[in-house]
Amino acid sequence: MSLLAETLQSIRPLDAHAIELAQARQYQLTKPPGSLGRLETLSVQIAGITGLARPVIRKRAVIVCAGDHGVAAQGVSAYPPEVTRQMVLNFLRGGAAINVLARHMQARVRVIDVGVAADLEPHLGLDIRKVGFGTADITQGPAMTLEEASLSVEVGIRAVQAELADGLDIVATGDMGIGNTTPASAIVAVVTGRPVADVTGRGTGIDDVQLARKIAVIEKAIQLNQPDSTDGLQVLARVGGFEIGAIAGVILGAAANRIPVVVDGFISTSGALIAGLLAPQARSFMVAAHASVERGHRAALAHLGLDPCLDLDLRLGEGTGAALAIGLVEAACKLLDEMATFESAGVSGAA
């Protein structure tokens, strides 16, 4: 049995007993029921994921998956492809936004080279698991083979397994790949059935002419490759990206190991759509970090049935929104675990 098949088989429903106990405790805490809103429902979800009625978040990791895209040659990004490699080096030096926010949240950062179109030197914090040197141009044919699609997902699963060895209570997804909003938009359009123009945004800040070209490129790619909207691996292979596949794998690996996974922005959510097709139950293990200003993100979240924790006009990627949302998840769990009950505090409850 392949690692992917084994992982899919390992994903189980949330723990109903832990959910029941967590919900019961929420009603006993010194507050009106529901007064902490999403923080209450988050804590109950994490209880169901972990199987612990009073879950505690101590070990945090952000897994940033990096890859290049052949479609970048079509002028869909404001930045040249070599920026992918340069930004990976910036991550490793600790100088990127995700490094700052991860340090703030006391989370470790692991960078995975799934498909950077350059050789990277070994470095602490970098896992080189290259499936290929960037995907093929999706306007000329499929992004990758089905075998490569499966391998890219397995890279993400293995990344979670490696982090488990160092202790892991929560994991956040991140991405790096110049041009990757193009395959992400293609995935969202295919899976949600929305028109390409409705789910395609400006990415790195392209102008109106570039945006029109980008929409045309995606429409051409979908028309040429004809992905089946119900087949996650096929969608990934035909119009996706290596790092998007790895993000899907991170989500599946987390779900199989009952670890809550905080899904970052638009790119990560396109990976979540792939994960949701491969294992519908994996959706219950996802926490949507934020609502990106990238067009199409809300449509992707709605399709998954996820409500974002934050709305901060973010569109950087890297896992930045997810790193911030880890703090909310941890706060929710602390409230459930550490607040006094009416009985222990000697406070009268509601009549």
* CA of residue 350 relative to chain centroid, distance: 40
| Amino acid (1-letter code) at residue 108 | R
Domain boundaries, the chain: 3-56+335-345, 60-328
Q: Is the dihedral of CA 145, 150, 153, 158 positive or negative?
A: negative
CA distance 4 to 150: 7
CA distance 305 to 269: 12
> What CA dihedral angle connects 149, 151, 155 and 161, to 10 degrees?
120
Report the pLDDT value the prediction gives residue 351, as an integer from 0 to 100.
65
Q: Of 332, 267, 273, nearest to 38 (Cα)?
A: 332
Tokens of 19: 């959910």
Q: Radius of gyration over alpha carbons of the chain, in Å? A: 20
Q: If one looks up domain 60-328 in CATH, what number appears?
A: 3.40.50.10210
CA distance 204 to 90: 18
Report the pLDDT value the prediction gives residue 204, as an integer from 0 to 100.
82
CA distance 213 to 190: 18
Tokens of 238: 């035909």
Q: Which residues are catalytic?
A: 318
8-state DSSP, 105 = T
CA dist 184 to 158, 189, 241, 247, Å? 22, 9, 8, 12
CA distance 59 to 273: 26
User: pLDDT by residue for the chain (351 residues), tens digit each?
Assistant: 899 999 999 999 999 999 999 999 999 999 999 999 999 999 999 999 999 999 999 999 999 999 999 999 999 999 999 999 999 999 999 999 999 999 999 999 999 999 999 999 999 999 999 999 999 999 999 999 999 999 999 999 999 999 999 999 999 999 999 999 999 999 999 999 999 999 999 988 889 999 999 999 999 999 999 999 999 999 999 999 999 999 999 999 999 999 999 999 999 999 999 999 999 999 999 999 999 999 999 999 999 999 999 999 999 999 999 999 999 999 999 999 999 999 998 988 776
For domain 3-56+335-345, the question of CATH label 1.10.1610.10 is answered with: yes
